[in-house]
Structure 1
Amino acid sequence: MTGHAKAGRPNQFLRNLNSKIASIPMILTAVVIFLGGTIWTVVYSFTNSKLLPRLSFVGLDQYHRLWAAPRWVMSIENLAIYGILSIIFSLVIGFVLAALMDQKIRFENTFRTIFLYPFALSFIVTGLVWQWLLNPEFGIQSVVRSLGWTTFAFDPLYTPSIVIYGVLIAALWQGTGLVMCLMLAGLRGIDEDIWKAARVDGIPMWKTYLFVVIPMMRPVFITTLVIIASGIVKVYDLVVAQTSGGPGIASEVPAKYVYDYMFQAQNLGQGFAASTMMLVTVAIVVIPWAYLEFGGGRKRV
């Protein structure tokens, strides 16, 4: 009977055959364009390519020049500050807003739309809007001074030491609404019986969130973290719209460094090296996520 059962089972390879055939173009696109382009970039990062790519290998010279460049070091420092603070504030603010929205408040749909609306705008529009708001001549500083506080100063985009925080404000304004929606979806997935049991046991609400709800929302937090981190690594247009990397090089980021060297300075080798370092950063984010989502899941099963 076992032999007949095995003979009656369809071949695993033939299951969903139409779907597999339909996915062949996308698989080929991913392998040829994405994987092939990545390998091509890494290989040419070891060359002395200038205006056009050429296989003139120089070893690790491009990477030595990269890490010796003050502009690149500044961009990495800015990315670290921007990234760490963006992750912390996005998760905290997004979760708090989601917890408030989960209280079955009136006009919930209206508030949800208001909070999510900035995410529908492009980074260029967001950057220009906040460039105006943070302009000391007619922005927040000018408005507050017109109300009588003549010594009030708030011009982060014009102060090199804090300009990256001005960029961070604009990014949080745009992206926090999406984080709130993701967190709200996770909160709505929590069984109502858990809340009832916590109330019966007299557990304070903040403890329920901290020790019960948040651990149960681990997959939501991991997914949200990956989305935020991927946006942090490739941040470019927001910086260009707000500061163009200035004052000086105070708000440089890696993506802008790559663009400038590849398309303006006509130094492809240096741009490829910087791109490869960005690839390493993405791998640092994606590999732990993949392990937690897939490797850890198999072990639990």
Structure 2
Amino acid sequence: MAITVLLGYLGAALWSLRISFTSSRTFPADDYVGLLQYERLFENERWLLSLQNLCIYGVLFIVASMVIGFLLAVFIDQKVKGEGLLRTAFLYPYAMSFVATGLVWQWVLNPESGLQHSMRQLGWAGFTFDWIIDQDLVIYTVVIASVWQASGLVMALLLAGLRGIDEDIWKASRIDGVPAWRVYLSVVLPMLAPTLATVFVLLATGVVKVFDAVVSMTQGGPGTASDVPAKFIMDHLFGRANIALASAGAMVLLLTVLILVAPFLYARSRSHAAGQGGH
């Protein structure tokens, strides 16, 4: 297992790092050009646009998924009727591939055959929802599709955390007359901090590598309006035969993932060490 990790992951990362410092095009080259590829990368308007899209997508996707997932978890935690069916229904989208999700939402949001067309057929002649063909709004359609898919996973993780909270806390709050929203805000959410951190890391790493949903929904369009870094990398790697520039982009994404995951892993190791020290 360790050999697989070293050769398959670390080896590939180091190879990509080396290539990013060369002028390689279709085939790897051994010439060293320093940070030239990284300079070209951040002078490329398409790359900068893809980073901007990634920031917009990431903030909205993470916030919306966590809020909706938490509300769904709170709802199901009330021991509603048909709980098992509801859990399955909310979690089902996550079982779908991003490609399938993207294709479904592409159809739903298509102005000629989807939601806009259906509403106009029902008599709402002025109804307009053409975000998927609007350069300024198209990235938000990817957010909608991604939130729809990921919220169920967030719900499942947070529901497990809610079910682990001592019932005596709720009994005490009822006796003291504390509003439920205040208990969730002041007691429940702090107790769910480790679970929330896990959810955040999972969603954040998903943001960095988002690709399938964009390709299946918009192909990065209209034009390059919904482009993201992963698509930029794949296009330059396979479509434009510029593996050095693609490798530079890949290393930037890898560094982003490490920045996101490292604090979580550090805090987790500190917590584990403190737990062992307490024993």
Instruction: Compute the TM-score of the two structures, normalised by the length of structure 1.
Output: 0.90
Q: Give runs of aligned pairs for residues 81-96 of structure 1, distance below 5 A.
A: 81-96=56-71
| Aligned mates of 2:5, 2:105 — CA distance in 1 | 37
Q: Give runs of aligned pairs for residues 1-301 of structure 1, distance below 5 A.
A: 26-299=1-274, 301=278
Give 3-state SS (helix, strand or coil) of 2:87's partner.
Answer: helix
Give 3-state SS (helix, strand or coil) of 1:46's partner.
Answer: coil
Q: CA deviation at 1:45?
A: 0.5
Percent identity between matched residues is 50
Q: Which runs of 5+ in 1 are unaligned?
A: 1-25
Amino acid at match of 1:232: V
| Aligned mates of 1:65, 1:133 — CA distance in 2 | 38
| Aligned mates of 1:168, 1:90 — CA distance in 2 | 10
Q: CA deviation at 1:149?
A: 1.9
| Aligned mates of 2:54, 2:272 — CA distance in 1 | 31
Q: Paired residue for 1:11? A: none
| Aligned mates of 1:249, 1:224 — CA distance in 2 | 30
| Aligned mates of 1:125, 1:184 — CA distance in 2 | 26
Amino acid at match of 2:105: W
| Aligned mates of 1:291, 1:202 — CA distance in 2 | 39
| Aligned mates of 2:168, 2:2 — CA distance in 1 | 44
Amino acid at match of 2:197: I
**Alignment length, in residue pairs?**
276
Look at both structures and tell me which one has the larger radius of gyration over its CA atoms: 1
| Aligned mates of 1:295, 1:179 — CA distance in 2 | 25
Instruction: Compute the TM-score of the two structures, normalised by the length of structure 2.
Output: 0.97
Q: Paired residue for 1:20? A: none
Q: Which runs of 5+ in 2 are unaligned?
A: none
| Aligned mates of 1:49, 1:295 — CA distance in 2 | 42
| Aligned mates of 2:221, 2:108 — CA distance in 1 | 17
